[in-house]
């Protein structure tokens, strides 16, 4: 699995400012969950995690923050599951994902070497999304 960097609120605020995004405590908190977590959270998971800290927080604020961060190119949407959009930090090493079909956890894995060479000549790649699905090591051992 790929180690993930941890960002302070000050570093996240600087990234938001450079992207031209107005700072708010809630927006930084949403960004922190995506940037520092390893779960590739859904909007509902982010809402659940932040609702105690921000009692007046609405799901609309979560969705608006996520859309702003996606539009700025700081996070991206992962269409790993058809029922839930998940989010991942953009400025990080290119990687693939593995989703456990039993527990639902998503892991970052190294991208296979030379994956860009699989695209035929004349095509221009804008993004690469590779997701493996199966049983994670924990669920495989308990199966």
What is the value of pTM for the model shown?
0.76
Residues 6 or more apart in contact with residue 92 via CB below 8 angstroms: 4, 5
User: What distances in angstroms separate CA 20 from CA 9, 53, 105, 106, 132, one per listed residue?
Assistant: 16, 26, 33, 30, 35
CB 20 within 8 A of CB 72: yes
CB 137 within 8 A of CB 100: no
pLDDT of 74-123, one tens digit each? 998 887 766 778 888 886 777 788 888 898 888 888 888 888 778 778 88
CB 107 within 8 A of CB 119: no
Which one has a higher pLDDT value, 31 or 84?
Answer: 31
């Amino acid at each position: 699995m790929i180690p993930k960097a941890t960002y302070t609120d000050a570093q996240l605020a600087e990234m938001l400012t450079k992207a031209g995004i107005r700072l708010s405590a809630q927006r930084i908190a949403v960004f922190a969950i995506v940037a520092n977590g390893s779960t590739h959270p859904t909007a509902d998971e982010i809402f659940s995690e932040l609702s105690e800290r921000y009692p007046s927080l609405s799901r609309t604020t979560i969705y608006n923050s996520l859309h702003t961060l996606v539009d700025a190119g700081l996070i991206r949407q992962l269409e790993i599951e058809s029922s839930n959009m998940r989010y991942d930090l953009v400025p990080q090493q290119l990687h693939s994902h593995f989703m456990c079909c039993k527990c639902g956890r998503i892991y970052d894995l190294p991208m296979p070497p030379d994956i860009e060479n699989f695209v035929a000549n004349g095509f221009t790649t804008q993004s690469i999304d590779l997701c493996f699905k199966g049983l994670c090591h924990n669920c495989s051992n308990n199966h």
